[in-house]
Chains A and B, each alone.
Chain A
Amino acid sequence: MTWLHVYDFGIPAHRYLSEGIGISRIRLLFVPLIGGLLLGLAARAVRARRFSEIVDPIEANALHGGRMSLRDSIWLTFTTVISNAAGASLGMEAGYSQLGAGLYSSAGRWFRLRRADLRVFVTAGAGAAIAAAFNAPLAGAFYGYELILGSYTTRALAPVVVAAVCAALTQRGMSHMQALFEVGGSFNVPSESYFLFALLGLVAAGVSVATMQAVTWTERGLRASKVPDWTRPAIGGVVLSALALFAPQVLGSGHGAVQFHFDLRSTLPALAFLLVMKLLASAVSVGSGFRGGLFSSSLFLGTLLGALFAQTAAYFSPALASEHNVFMLAGMGAVAAGIIGAPLTMVFLVLEATGDFQVAIAVVIAVTISSTIVRVLFGYSFATWRFHQRGLSIRGAHDVGWISDMNVGRLMRSDAKTVPENLGLKALRAAYPAGSTKRLYVVEGSGHYIGTIDTADLHDSEIDDALDGAVAGDLAEAPEQFLLPSENIRSALARFDTLQVETLPVLLSRSQPTVVGYMTEAYALKRYSAELERMRSAELGQRDLFSIGPLPSSKTPVP
């Protein structure tokens, strides 16, 4: 990527694009536009063949039991490379984690791993990629736990940590990269100033929400403009060029820019201006269709916010000027935690970059406040916000996909007793004596369902006098009470609860209402609770989690 930036923008070989140094002005005007056009045309060509969105690691773990396409992952990584090469204000981390998770998912599927194990593999893949990208194995592992798996379990400890450590060590061995950022000086944060980090966390939450909302506003604006889909990245590229003419540091992921601001101090107005420009550039990049994530961008935004906050604090208390870098690190963690939704990851990222626990405490305070406010008031991280925009109700990577896999079609009994509506009740009584079955499903000549007969009602002595001439259709009740095979178990249980019935027929579809089976509430509840137990046991890697001693058998005398 560094080579591509050198080639595309004419920057010196040892510089990062986001440092904003030595960028050719002519190329700046054309590269984002050309990159946007390429991306738009490539996306158009692919969209002609496929209609579904690419499944990312969070969605894979939440809905698909860890199954994701390697081909899609490679394609997404490729488009992320194009976007980043064109100078989009986004990081490569989304591409890295997609590729890592895709590779691990493919390997896991090849080895026919169980659902819970495959989810851990996807987590390990994404975590390893982030660990290598930031040279931070702990941050990578916790990125996996917090974002991709949705929880930390001892079962997932070894695979994820081992993958992250191996990835980081390999990358370290190849590039001899020591730390993510070089933050000079010693830190000595006065105890009485820790409340300022809470305040910084509060402001960071606002910046996080503003960034996520800005992405949505950009998307809505472009959609409302009715310009063709494939031209949107090019339009974004033009806007990006215009922003970069005034603030070249908005280009790229922001790694170089973060280091730049640790090394040199800018003025208060310059920092405020750059913060607004970077926020706009990131929103325009994502909103117009460039591919990539906000991980690095949020780190840079947070660094700028921290620097801004430090300078303001130093204006009131000059003693705080020496702790400028601590505020930058805390701001970095707080904004990134708010946007990415992984607070502990950010704490570990800073800890691995600085190795300083005093700084880590300041970062913990800012990160906790920021992520809590974003979670409570906004309710989403950037990833889940994107799902929300797409109409997916996923609030994290917790495995909820098994619920849709566990549908009525799989759970129903298919030996439903159907009777024709014109069958006489006398004949019906003879065919189904009392106690032979509980319910009969009445159908028309075409096979369409018209209601249910409770066999207790059929054999009720009160209707003995009316048996002559009466047919099954006369006793059929509740034609509107049924289930469909595609409904999931939660929906079915809710229906049992609302209708206050114990059994419901299952119809093929609303347009073709033939009886294909029936389902009882007791069986649905039994399967649901058994599946919940099984999922929890698998997550924790303990098959006998709910076995607490031998169950009393029927032969054991009750004391």
Chain B
Amino acid sequence: MEHRRGHGEAGLTPGRSVKSSAIDHGAGLQQAMRRARALLMAIQRDLRDAEPSQIILCAAMGGFIGVVVDLLR
């Protein structure tokens, strides 16, 4: 994908090329953000209803608490 975009930009002026590249990056970032948000919402939904996921989260956070308590001691 990146390679093809590079070929397309070859005939454009340098300024135009930078602008369109920035727009592409912006759109890509937005898409990535949307995906991340969708993923987080899916995790939220899953965790709300699935007991095993809650247990795994408790385990992970338990390890973190162990570290914090050890440092505070």
A binding-site residues for B, Cβ under 8 Å: 1-2, 77, 81, 92, 95-96, 99-100, 103-104, 107, 110-114, 117, 120-121, 124-125, 128-129, 131-133, 158-160, 162-171, 173-175, 541
Contacts and interface: CB of A to CB of B under 8 A. Distances in A.
Interface string B31-55: 0000000000001100110010011
Contacts of B54: 113, 117, 120-121, 159
B66 A170 contact: yes
A355 B68 CA distance: 27
19 contacts: A77-B72, A96-B72, A104-B58, A104-B61, A107-B57, A111-B43, A112-B44, A113-B48, A113-B54, A114-B48, A120-B54, A124-B58, A125-B65, A128-B58, A132-B65, A158-B58, A163-B59, A170-B70, A171-B70
A166 to B, nearest CB: 3
Contacts of A163: 58-59, 61-62, 65
Max chain A Cβ within 10 angstroms of own Cβ: one of B43, B57, B66? B66
A107 B61 CA distance: 9
Contacts of B48: 111-114, 117
B15 to A, nearest CB: 44
A81 B71 CA distance: 12
Contacts of B5: none
A159 B55 contact: yes
A35 to B, nearest CB: 17
Instruction: Report whether over half of chain B's contact residues are helix, strand or loop; otherwise say mixed.
Output: helix
A121 to B, nearest CB: 7
Contacts of B69: 96, 100, 129, 132-133, 167, 171
Instruction: Report whether over half of chain A's contact residues are helix, strand or loop; otherwise say mixed.
Output: helix
Given A111-B44, A111-B48, A159-B55, A165 B62 contact: yes
B46 to A, nearest CB: 9
Max chain A Cβ within 10 angstroms of own Cβ: one of B62, B63, B67? B62
B66 A132 contact: yes
Given A111-B44, A113-B54, A166 B70 contact: no
A545 to B, nearest CB: 16
A113 B55 contact: no
B73 interface: yes
Max chain B Cβ within 10 angstroms of own Cβ: one of A96, A129, A162, A175? A162
Nearest to B46: A111
Contacts of B64: 103, 170
Contact of A111 (B47, B51, B55, B70): B47
B65 A103 contact: yes
Nearest to B66: A170
A99 B65 CA distance: 9
A209 B61 CA distance: 36
B65 A167 contact: yes
A61 to B, nearest CB: 16
Given A170-B70, A173-B66, 10 more contacts: A96-B72, A103-B61, A117-B48, A124-B58, A158-B51, A162-B62, A163-B61, A166-B62, A167-B65, A170-B63
Nearest to A163: B62
A541 B72 contact: no
B42 to A, nearest CB: 12
Contact of A171 (B51, B55, B59, B66): B66
Contacts of B43: 111
B71 to A, nearest CB: 8
Contacts of A132: 65-66, 69-70
Contacts of A162: 55, 58-59, 62
A252 B62 CA distance: 26
Contacts of A100: 65, 68-69
A167 B66 contact: yes
A125 B61 contact: yes
B59 to A, nearest CB: 5
Contacts of A111: 43-44, 47-48, 57
Contacts of B70: 132, 170-171, 174-175
A92 B66 contact: no
